[in-house]
Amino acid sequence: MFNLGIKAKLTLLYALLLGTELIFFGWFLYITLSKSLLDATDTRTKAVAQIISKTVLRPSSSLGLPQNFDQILEKFFGIRTAGKFIQIMDQSGRVGPKSSSLKGFKIPLSNEAFHNALKGKITYETVNIVGRYPIRVITYPIMNKGIMINLIQVGSSLESNLDTLASLLYILYIVIPLGIILASIIGWFMANGALKPVDDITSAARKIGIKNLNERLVIKGPRDEIGRLAETFNEMIARLESSFNKVKQFTSDASHELRTPLTILKGEIEVALKTERSVDGLINVLKSNLEETNRMSLIVSDLLMLTRMDRGGERFEMKEVRLHDIISEKFEQAKLLARDKNVTVSLINNSKLIVKGDPVKLRRLILNLIDNAIKYNSDGGAVSISLHRVDGFANLVVSDTGIGIEEKNIPHIFDRFYRVDKARTRAEGGSGLGLSICKEIVDAHNGSISVKSKYGRGTTFTVKLPAL
């Protein structure tokens, strides 16, 4: 198989379509002209037969015309018989007078023509009797009181018709191939012009790599299919740039998050080895090491969960879950967590709602939101929890009276390792992945999560899950 380029394919398709149209048009023209010429011949022969029947023959008279009567008809009666073959027969089909053009020949009378004549019907036929060209014959009956008394047969050579059709075929044999060739040349240039923007886009796209993802394709001309293709490429490159930047940021943040506890571990161990310490001192070092190890373990565990979610490898055991029972359970835990922070936790509303989801993942979602509201609250602050139905959704609202989030930070709080206050987050023992995990859990349950915050006044998280 030939591996044709799109230009060649378009040109070939254009040539095939035009060639098919030209051939069909030529065939239609040939058939139409052939029928038109034949109809014209039939009309002329019928006119001669009618003139002969009305001018020379009478129903009550007998045939008294001499042989080679066509010359007499043309000279004395003005009937033009030149190029015509004429013969007159009686009611039994015997040939009587005939034109000089027939000489020793006669026009055959077919059974169909004779039977039609007996009924008074005219018959047209094409026969071969004289020369190399066929003649068109009309069998014209002369009727008297419903009885055929004579037959007039007038034939006309189809030489002129065939010569005309041959000339037409000759012209078509020349015009159609030339038309296809010319159409192919024009089609090639048209395809080349139409696809040039695609070549430009291809060349520009090849120049864009990891180091220059900030570049975009230059869009020239109207916003047609090619323009929209270029816009789509630009949008795709923008998404790639955003994803690549997020991967770079994620790698940098993950390295930083893991490097910090490792540095602390290394430093404390080195100091412990270089100095003499009491048992209590070594225990304190081990406690600090354990704290940093737990921090790394939490980060790695969260990273593994997010990676599995990204790859679709994290299992979600979907079942009917009484969401209000989980809220009650986590509310009791929240009161214990809030005691050390001097924060008040209240359950404003807890409507009985059932959702389809993974109970383990939903517990983590709710605990993460409540835990964040307590951790990042102010001393003596308050946290409120509410669950109610709105338009077929279970709406979980967790609000706090903390310092809030600046507006510029709100679009990024679900990004991995994004921290509004890195120092405070580390002091609280967070991994920077909690809200990212919340977002993934909500998405897996076909829900949505949103945040509203006023800097210095508090933050509200709203989770919407389809209720049963």
Express each pLDDT in 287-346 by its tens digit. 777 777 776 776 676 666 666 666 666 677 889 999 999 999 989 888 888 887 888 999
Domain count, the chain: 3
- Give the orientation angle of helix 6-55 with respect to helix 159-207, to 10 degrees: 160
Please tell me the pTM assigned to this model. 0.49
At 240, which CATH number?
1.10.287.130
Whether residue 156 has pLDDT greater than 50:
yes
Task: Give me the pLDDT at residue 459, please.
Answer: 92
Whether residue 467 has pLDDT greater than 50:
yes
At 408, which CATH number?
3.30.565.10
Task: Give me the pLDDT at residue 276, please.
Answer: 62
Whether residue 412 has pLDDT greater than 50:
yes
254 vs 275, which has greater pLDDT? Answer: 275
Whether residue 249 has pLDDT greater than 70:
no
Average pLDDT over residues 437-458: 88
Q: Are residues 365 and 284 in the same domain?
A: no
- Residue 15: exposure state from Cβ atoms within 10 A (0-12, 13-18, ≥19): buried
Report residue 37's pLDDT band, with 50, 70 and 90 as the boundaries: very high
Q: Are residues 338 and 298 in the same domain?
A: no
Q: Are residues 347 and 402 in the same domain?
A: yes
At 91, which CATH number?
3.30.450.20
Instruction: Return mean pLDDT, the chain.
Output: 80
pLDDT per residue over 183-207, tens digit each?
A: 888 888 887 777 777 777 777 777 7
Q: Are residues 138 and 98 in the same domain?
A: yes
Task: Give me the pLDDT at residue 74, please.
Answer: 65
Task: Give me the pLDDT at residue 456, please.
Answer: 81
Q: Are residues 342 and 306 in the same domain?
A: no
Question: Which of 163, 188, 216 is the C-terminal boundary of a domain?
Answer: 163
Instruction: Tell me the pairing of strands 382-390 and 344-350.
Output: parallel
Report residue 82's pLDDT band, with 50, 70 and 90 as the boundaries: low
169 inside domain: no
Report the amino acid identity of residue 457. R
pLDDT per residue over 386-411, tens digit each?
A: 999 988 899 999 999 988 888 888 88
Task: Give me the pLDDT at residue 66, please.
Answer: 57
pLDDT per residue over 66-80, tens digit each?
A: 555 666 666 655 566
Task: Give me the pLDDT at residue 265, please.
Answer: 72
- Percentage of the residues of the chain whose pLDDT score is greater than 90: 21
The parent domain of residue 254 ranges over 225-311
Report residue 61's pLDDT band, with 50, 70 and 90 as the boundaries: very low
Task: Give me the pLDDT at residue 424, please.
Answer: 47
